[in-house]
A and B are shown apart, each in its own frame.
Chain A
């Protein structure tokens, strides 16, 4: 039982990271109907910026929490600048173009970011200096560290704050209005360009936090790390119902738990025929099944065609 519980904890932590990244996908999709494939690579840039700052400051004698804060701040700054610039340069000119055009642009931006990062940080794995020694906790025979708990709580907090913000704030209302009908929202005095840029601002900032969590938890980063992470997070967003903030969270956690349980038990269930190296196949199998049975995702609502 303690092993099962441990697998659930593993899945929750992995899922929290997916969820944080998925929030960025889902917000942009909700407003623009665009799948921002570059988002995974923005997370990668955030992770590598944080890594570099942490490496530079690790020996400086500053207290570790401060180093971490500075690293996160730098990552957020770079990511936000990057996200808003990408929207302005690559997506805004194509807003009235057929849907596939911005999608392909997004893939292009993703590749551009990857290879720019390879130029800056080389193609090697970079290791994160250990800033804080994790403290161990035991719960019903399962073990977890304060870092793992932090990742989970942070993901929940960010999601709750985002939900509240979209529901209650003035900008949040404008965001919802833009989502429902950008033209009418514009007529009502909402500056659509502003709102869309703000969505990218928010998504990239959350992406930067996700990137910092990844390097903190796994202790390493490289230029290609955003690809698979982005793909999984996108899967999570679709699983939960893309465009739905709570759905992204649910989808992320669900995907993390599925992966964890699959890699933990698949070997025994198939008598050793399939190993845990097949876990990604199951993640995408679940995506296909959800799309077939419930095309709008678990929490997605059916929306009419957009004008």
Chain B
């Protein structure tokens, strides 16, 4: 019963807990609400993987709802594939934005014999999970992962319906240099695949344009105190701060910038272009700029109708990637229809040939599985609301080239 002894034990324990603190939540039970099925209807399972708990849950639930809406639409309309009636069933899993958990979720999907997967949200989750899907031959469309590596691994099963960070980063960089006329820039990231990838792509672009990077800082996707980093940046007199990360960090960061009297402009990627960011940052959000792959929600070809139906069904505004989640399902089903089969091996080759007009606009993939001519929109916070400034299409060659504008035969977008 020696105090010193107990203390040593406890500190060791504290260490152990600290090391293991990434995996706190118990695995979420899979949702299986199987409807009683008439025998001639084939059941096809679609997986949706995104963070449903934790700081990024609002974005993950948004995606899941988009997928849910697509599946409900399909089931309400009745789909026939290869002469058989098909019903779709959603299996939504929580990957907690955690790379390790993401592979567990992926394995769960494989075991549950899903036909296709919409996910994951985080690049850091999509990349390790894509190996599992590739091994099992299950096609995967990420509605939101923007790290370039995701489609560079040579997996035939990996697709995405957003522009990637080698397009988003330089676009942000151009805004910083040309629009905001930044001369000295500080770059912060949250040490995730997404945040760091975006920040690096941004840094490379502004550096090439002759802008001085006065600080390159890293935080984590769990932190809420950034005063020391920001103080250092203040000392280096940056006139623009770029953050590669998500809103739970960006919100307090912008607030703390105001507290420290930092006048620099703040710019970030799609992870901060959320209503939640404005809520967290309060008045300090004013004037913050962000880029997001895709057209502004209201300007999407199927946008207005989609937003209304989404609101009616879930009583929530579209946060970010719900339209992408919706379209991902539709792209799968479109490929299934053309292949006349719901077997992943049969319809996978058809996904690459997709030419679909979705809610978000025309969807076609290049040979890597990236979205062709994915647009990127720049937003600014004005009057506590995100306002679209302009949309650019980084991939599009000036000559137009192979951009096919012919409307596809699909009908879902017209609703």
Chain A residues with a Cβ under 8 A of chain B? 2-3, 6-7, 10-11, 13-14, 33, 35, 99-100, 103, 114, 118, 122-125, 127, 130, 134, 136, 138, 143-145, 148, 218-220, 222, 224, 227-228, 231, 234-235, 238, 242, 259-265, 267, 272, 275-277, 279-280, 284, 287-288, 291, 295-296, 303, 305-306
Contact residue among B1, B11, B216, B219 (Cβ-Cβ distance under 8 Å from A272):
B216
What are 16 A-to-B residue pairs whose CB atoms are below 8 Å? Answer: A3-B234, A7-B231, A10-B227, A33-B6, A35-B6, A122-B57, A123-B25, A125-B55, A134-B259, A145-B259, A242-B7, A264-B228, A267-B215, A277-B219, A284-B14, A305-B2
CB neighbours (8 Å) of A224 from chain B are 24
Contact residue among B1, B17, B24, B215 (Cβ-Cβ distance under 8 Å from A306):
B1
Can you list, as one digit per residue, whether each of B251-263 has a CB less than 8 Å from chain A (1) or not (0)?
A: 1100100011100
Q: When chains A and B are docked, how far (Å) is the Cα of A295 from the Cα of B57?
A: 42
* A interface: dominant SS: helix
CB neighbours (8 Å) of A148 from chain B are 259
Shortest Cβ distance from B54 into A: residue? A123
Q: When chains A and B are docked, how far (Å) is the Cα of A242 from the Cα of B3?
A: 10
The answer on a CB contact under 8 Å between A238 and B7 is: yes
For the complex formed, measure the closest distance between the CB of A23 and the CB atoms of chain B, giving whole angstroms.
Answer: 18
A220-B280, A275-B218 given as contacts; is B8 within 8 A of A291 (CB)? yes
Q: When chains A and B are docked, how far (Å) is the Cα of A261 from the Cα of B228?
A: 7
B225 at the interface (CB under 8 A from A): yes
Q: When chains A and B are docked, how far (Å) is the Cα of A287 from the Cα of B279?
A: 37
B405 at the interface (CB under 8 A from A): no
Shortest Cβ distance from A6 into B: residue? B231
CB neighbours (8 Å) of A220 from chain B are 224, 248, 251-252, 280
The answer on a CB contact under 8 Å between A219 and B1 is: no
CB neighbours (8 Å) of A218 from chain B are 224-225, 252
Q: When chains A and B are docked, how far (Å) is the Cα of A219 from the Cα of B224?
A: 10
The answer on a CB contact under 8 Å between A35 and B55 is: no
Closest 4 CB pairs of A and B: A3-B235, A275-B218, A263-B228, A10-B227
Q: Which of A3, A262, A265 has the most CB of B within 10 A?
A: A3
B217 at the interface (CB under 8 A from A): yes
The answer on a CB contact under 8 Å between B57 and A124 is: yes
The answer on a CB contact under 8 Å between B11 and A238 is: yes
The answer on a CB contact under 8 Å between A264 and B232 is: yes
Q: When chains A and B are docked, how far (Å) is the Cα of A11 from the Cα of B231?
A: 11
A130-B282, A136-B261, A272-B216 given as contacts; is B58 within 8 A of A124 (CB)? yes
Can you list, as one digit per residue, whether each of B224-242 has a CB less than 8 Å from chain A (1) or not (0)?
A: 1101110110110000000
CB neighbours (8 Å) of B367 from chain A are none
The answer on a CB contact under 8 Å between A10 and B228 is: yes
CB neighbours (8 Å) of A114 from chain B are 24
